Amino acid sequence: MTERLRLKKNADRRLKAGHLWLYSNEIDIATTPLKDFEPGAQAVIEAANGKPMGIAYVNPHSLICARIVSRDVDVRLDRSLFVHRFKQALSLRERMFAKPFYRLVYGEGDLLPGLIVDRFDDVLVVQLNTVGMDRLREEIVAALEKVLAPRAIVFKNDSSGRRQEQLGDEVEVAYGELPDQVLLEENGVRFVVPVLDGQKTGWFFDHRANRAWLNGLVAGKRVLDVFSYVGGWGVQAAAHGASEVLCVDSSAQALERVAENAALNGLAEQVAVGESEAFEALAALKAEGEQFDVIVLDPPAFIKRRKDIPNGERAYSRLNREAIRLLGRDGMLLSASCSMHLAPERLMECVRGAVRHQDRHGQVIYQGHQGPDHPVHPAIPETAYLKAMGVRVFRN
């Protein structure tokens, strides 16, 4: 018999609206004590009047203490439901993309909270970010095997979310044999993906459409790609006709991959790298009198929690201000943020202030967000996190 978790009075409103999360302060712990639950156990969620509302997995030690996996209380999260959800997710991606390179499962956006799966053709990279998902790793592998018959499945379990759930880090090949090189193609450009030792799953599919937009504006231009990682923006810019690209990152290992990816596409002559922290690099380039036609700012999240918002906004403002100093008279700035807690209008304000600080004018000509392989759950604002602004910056 499945355990029950009862909500306090009126604590079911968000669930009725479609949300998938329950917080520990919403549980009627007198009737159904949270402390009695084993982390990862599945339970029937009940409204205060006892009406069943869905099935969730539970973590009594987390602020988000339960996550809904089905509205049907007769269903359980098992291999069968994973197969069904993976097929649902796959059908969307196959409609959107001609080639098998995309985020296959985007957590709550695909009704599988706590699970990320990125697809690099026949190699799948999986992140199990919650206890509930971690307990079901064998069922997940079996379901992926059934739906996609991959060559290899990698567990890239080193996210900050796991630490919040009191889970350890682990990176391993969970199934099959990993090829010497994992390749992907994005916007017609090929890349080697560091799935074992790279950031996140090795690649950031979320900016694909934003890169495609910028690719149309770089022909003959001098481009600076700050926080370049393995060259997603910079190498694509070179492939689409940029005369010169400088990729800046603090990781020597990432920059080796930039050079490798440039060479893979016959672009070694156009792409240079510079190992430096971003703010130091921008200051040094200014001191050297360098100027660029196009600058890409795609930093890591400066705001990880609500309390980081003031400091984070100051960092975004400073970053944009320092970059604009390096733009020519009529330049293009691509300013991005993956901080879920930074509202789009606040990024706009950071950029506006930076433009005026340099006594220039700005025209916002593009506003982008995450691609369709990161579907936004309409009841969960947290699933919409990515912002990208294309801004023409010019003098009077």
Taking each helix axis from N to C end, the angle separating 137-148 and 79-96, rounded to the nearest 10 degrees, works out to 50
Separation between Cα atoms, residue 141 and residue 387, nearest integer Å? 32
CA distance 235 to 13: 47
Pair of tokens at residue 149: 């018959």
Count Cβ atoms below 10 Å from residue 330 Cβ, excluding itself. 11
Q: Which of 65, 247, 338, 350 is catalytic?
A: 338
Query: Is 247 annotated as catalytic?
Result: no
> Angle, nearest 10°, between helix axes 309-324 and 344-357?
40
Q: How far is CA 161 from CA 37, 158, 200, in A?
A: 20, 8, 12
Q: Are 122 and 176 in contact (CB under 8 A)?
A: no
Structure tokens belonging to residue 394: 């010019």
Positions annotated as catalytic residues are: 338
